[in-house]
Amino acid sequence: MNHWLRWFGVVTIVTGSVLLFAVATGGVAGDSGIRGFFPAHVEAERNLEQKLQAIPDAQRAEANLRRLTSEPHMAGTEASHRVAEWLRDQYRSFGFDAEIVSYSVWLAQPREVKLELIAPEKKSLATREQPFEGDKDTYDERAVVGFNTYSPSADITASVVYVNYGTPEDYQQLASIGVSVEGKIAIARYGHNYRGIKTKLAEEHKAIGLIIYSDPQDDGYVAGDAYPRGPWRNMTAIQRGSVLYTEIYPGDPLTPGVGATADAKRLAPSEAANIAHIPTMPVNAQDGAAILANLGGQHVPRGWQGGLPFTYHVGPGDAEVHMKLVMDYQQRPIYDVIAKLRGTSDGEWVVMGNHHDAWVFGAVDPNSGTSVMLETARALGQLVRSGWKPRRTIVMCEWDGEEPGLLGSTEWVEENGSELQAKAVAYINTDVGVAGPNFGASATPSLKPFVREVVREVQDPRSGKSVYETWRERLAQAREHPSGVARPEPAADASGDVPLGALGAGSDFCPFFDHAGIPSMDVGFGGDYGVYHALYDDFYWMKHFGDPTFVYHATLARILGTVVLRLDEADVLPFDYSGYAAEIGRAAGDLVARARSQSQDEAKLKPIADAAAELSAAADRAAKALQSASAAPMDAPREARINRALVTVEQAFLAPEGLAGRPWYKHTIYAPGSYAGYASEVMPGVSESLDRKDAATLRREEDSLIAALRRAAARLDDVTRLASGI
């Protein structure tokens, strides 16, 4: 899985030798300072970062990736266990205490996947991906067939209706022209929403099954040359993936909210709210074409025509298909690797993670990130051998079972939630670590200025400028010359800074941020990546298209290493709560405007705006107190209490009862949208109940949000008191 892609602040003042802290202000720390560090400690930190940035090596990263992609290693297989054992041993060789933590999860593997067109002609579909001479991995018979995990077994025959991307708006448009999927098999193209949402909507509209195909307009030959000539999806490439309803809850379906240990109390599979009830299967573009070309009915609405060389129709028409899926559900083991570099204080943790399981070889997703994490760990270990001792404990995690539904990370967070909330200062995620040269990041708003500052310190290997400046110039060019194929780039924020996205779901930051309230970020380099979840996401693709010299792997290791060092060594943790409060204030204003546009009583939402203003005032008070306190060194106990208060502001945004209808999600400011899957919804409980015109739920969610904003303001007032010595 994976995905990506802001904010205001108060400019920090540097007077003489005293750095007025850029903590909780969103300001730039200045050329002579580093956000969160006392002036006396800046030189030592810069020297440490310089040493670290000299260590990551492109050839070692390449060797890591070659080893990680040496065999298919899907979650729940012994091959994934072998990868975990190798990773554990690598971390130990770098000086980490590393262990494998196993969980038992409810997980399916395909036993039979069959699809055939039976009218107007007979044709076998569900074709496998074509092997290519020169790429030996494409001949590997251990590669799993194209399937969607957490689909039920089924044996069905029906006519077909085309539903475009299968979004709520698409179903509304079908209804407007009198077309229903009830009793039919829907066919949707990949894109615009998470595949599990496509299944959920098809189920809600009473389809009996769903086929998802890859349209060449979205990531195939319309975008550019297809594999093996270029990086884009060819006509036989299949996007595997999960259809678990992770917007309800991720992780093991049978143990929501608790770790899936051997003795955990489990639901019956029929009780699991996040498992689909209709079968879903993915097919490649050539099989999609065989079905779509035979659909009758009306010509598709504007915007529904894809890249296949014929006119699309919505159906049903003559096309009839037979789908048979036999899925083998069992309790299967998954294997997380947890590696710790012990700090002077084990009471604070800097946590980093990525997953190691892949649908097939997973050169980009996820093992580019895994390769980079190994280089980061090697660099940190080398610093320790040279005499450095981490201030905080560094925890590096390699998750299993991410692809089926964030299984490994969710189970670990659920099992260790209390300790994490007491110790973790931040979670750093990378997943699709390197797919090209284009840096992107998402983060909790309190860490967005921090991310920008770090990438100002690392050189981009292609441009020779900083990663930040290269990133900024690329986004400016994208806005001036927008592509008709690529996703639109986000606009710069009001401060003129490069924008970072909001955290939604789709990767392993989700349980840390959305469930446990740990400040989180997700970083990586993107590019022209058309082989997502396909057989062709292998070492050959990376070597020829993604990062042929592996210099961006080494660059990402420098970025991650610098992020870790700054969070590990900071005197006062570098959170920007003025910026966070500003984002919340704007979102509250947007809610009021939406209520007005929907002819709802916007005055009822004014208490949210008032609570957001209280939070903003508290953040400003904390910023001023921290600036004053930075004029002289603090004693260690006071510093520790301030840091603990700063970290727990994020946790204050959690609602103990969770969001209405999906209580696993506890963050009141950010969560994946109920019908988006990956994309973040801001103030999700209020926003979604407002759109549904559900007055009772709106009142409940409004009260929950206001309480959270006031809790966060109280935590910031604690920071003010501690910084003021009161």
Which residues constitute the domain of residue 181? Answer: 106-331
Query: Is 169 contained in some domain?
Result: yes
Supply 214's token pair: 């890859």
The CATH number given to whatever domain includes residue 155 is 3.50.30.30
Place of tokens 């089926």: 404
Residue 271 designated active-site? no
Supply 432's token pair: 């699709």
Q: Give the per-residue pLDDT at 484.
A: 41
In three-state form (DSSP H/G/I as H, E/B as E, the rest C), the secondary structure along 80-149 is: HHHHHHHHHHHHHHCCCEEEEEEEEEEEEEEEEEEEEEEECCCEECCCCCCCECCEHHHHCCCCCCCCEE
Number of Cβ within a 10 Å radius of residue 301: 15
Q: Are the beta carbons of 347 and 639 closer than 8 angstroms? A: no
Got the DSSP string for 390-430? -SEEEEEEEESSHHHHSHHHHHHHHHTHHHHHHHEEEEEE-
Residue ending a domain, among 331, 354, 370, is 331
Query: Is 437 contained in some domain?
Result: no
The DSSP 8-state label assigned to residue 659 in this structure reads: B
Q: Give the per-residue pLDDT at 147.
A: 98
Beta carbons within 8 Å of 417's beta carbon, 6+ residues apart: 515, 516
Check whether the bond before 684 is cis (ω within 30° of 0): no
Residue 583 to residue 640: CA distance in whole angstroms:
27
**Helix/strand/coil for 39:** helix
The domain total for the chain is: 2
Q: Give the per-residue pLDDT at 725.
A: 84
CA nearest to 250, candidates 164, 170, 355: 355
Residue ending a domain, among 269, 296, 331, is 331
Residue 157 to residue 324: CA distance in whole angstroms:
9
β-pair partners for 396: 339, 352
What stretches of 424-550 show up as alpha helix (H) in DSSP?
A: 448-455, 467-480, 509-510, 539-541
Mean pLDDT in each 10-residue stretch from start to end of the chain (726 residues)?
Answer: 33 28 39 84 96 98 98 98 98 98 98 97 97 97 98 98 98 97 98 96 98 98 98 98 97 98 97 98 98 96 97 95 98 98 95 98 98 98 98 98 98 98 98 97 98 98 97 88 46 71 95 98 98 98 98 98 98 97 95 83 84 98 91 84 97 98 97 89 95 93 97 98 90
Q: Give the per-residue pLDDT at 10.
A: 26
Query: Is 455 contained in some domain?
Result: no
Amino acid, single-letter form, for residue 286: Q
Q: Give the per-residue pLDDT at 495.
A: 59
CA atoms within a 13 Å half-sphere pointing along the CA-CB vector of 157: 6
Beta carbons within 8 Å of 478's beta carbon, 6+ residues apart: 486, 488, 489
Query: Is 363 contained in some domain?
Result: no
Query: Is 418 contained in some domain?
Result: no
Residue 71 to residue 269: CA distance in whole angstroms:
31
β-pair partners for 334: 103
Q: Are the beta carbons of 22 and 35 closer than 8 angstroms? A: yes
Phi and psi dihedrals of 544, rounded to 5? -100, -25
Residue 470 to residue 292: CA distance in whole angstroms:
42
Query: Is 82 contained in some domain?
Result: no
The CATH number given to whatever domain includes residue 683 is 1.20.930.40
Residue ending a domain, among 271, 299, 331, is 331
Q: Give the per-residue pLDDT at 592.
A: 87
Query: Is 673 contained in some domain?
Result: yes
Q: Give the per-residue pLDDT at 662.
A: 96
Distances (CA, A) of 311 to 50, 74, 139, 213, 284: 58, 38, 34, 17, 18
- Supply the Cα-derived Rg of the chain in whole angstroms: 25
Per-residue pLDDT tens digits for 516-546: 999 999 999 999 999 999 999 999 999 999 9
Residue 522 to residue 513: CA distance in whole angstroms:
11
What stretches of 493-605 show up as alpha helix (H) in DSSP?
A: 509-510, 539-541, 551-569, 577-597
What pTM was computed for the model? 0.94
Query: Is 62 contained in some domain?
Result: no
**Helix/strand/coil for 691:** helix
Beta carbons within 8 Å of 98's beta carbon, 6+ residues apart: 87, 88, 89, 91, 92, 337, 338, 339, 340
The DSSP 8-state label assigned to residue 313 in this structure reads: B
Catalytic residue among 71, 402, 650, 702: 402
